[in-house]
Amino acid sequence: MNTLIVLQRGAPILAAIAKPVDKINTDEIKQLIVDLKATVAAEKGVGIAAPQVGKSLRLFIMCSAPNERYPDAPLLAPSVIINPEIIARSHQQELAWEGCLSVKGKRALVSRYTSIDVKYLDENATKHHKTLTGFLARIFQHELDHLDGITFIERLNDESDAIDEQQWRQQNLNS
């Protein structure tokens, strides 16, 4: 188990469309999953996508749990999401604060669909089809964006809508 270096926005791989995973049951993919789980835990993230560690593959981990970066996150066992698709979206969207391990030190209010129907494979190649809402829908949309070369900064009207994490922390403590 290794913690990997998380690439920062500006790295070309974070702006590229990632390739589908053809074969899940390989040593390379198994190792990648173990290392991604270790890395996201060490970085106190709630999700991490393969391109963030330099692998241009359609695979990410969702691991929502309350921590100091996301005090209100729901608790969820880490899930491995492979070749994901959003097959339906709610009309409604909502704004909430996001950060990203590849955009260190920044937070912004990002608009996301409140509910999505998704399809993906897990690490055993089992097919899943489910509806995600709220924070989990938000993580899924954020991580899927990474597979399409998009960070949350590209979702903003203006890059200056992102604020420093320190400023965000103060605002949240005071509200």
Catalytic residue set? 143
- Contact status, residue 97 vs residue 152, Cβ threshold 8 Å: no
Please report whether residue 100 would count as binding Zn ion according to CB under 5 A.
yes
Q: Does 144 bind Zn ion (CB under 5 A)?
A: no
* Partner residues linked to 47 by β-bridges: 62
Instruction: State which residue, 60 or 120, has the beta carbon closest to Zn ion.
Output: 60
Cβ-based nearer residue to Zn ion, 111 or 126: 111
- The count of residues interacting with Zn ion (CB under 5 A) is 1
Give the type of residue at 18: A
Span near Zn ion by CB under 5 A; candidates 6-14, 15-23, 57-65, 97-105: 97-105
14 interacts with Zn ion by CB under 5 A? no
57 to 76, contacts with Zn ion by CB under 5 A?
none
Question: 59-62 and 47-49: which strand pairing?
Answer: antiparallel
Which residue is listed with tokens 């129907």? 117
Stretch that binds Zn ion, among 1-9, 13-21, 93-101, 109-117 (CB under 5 A): 93-101
Q: How far is the CB of 123 from Zn ion (least distance, A)?
A: 21
Return residues touching Zn ion (CB under 5 A): 100
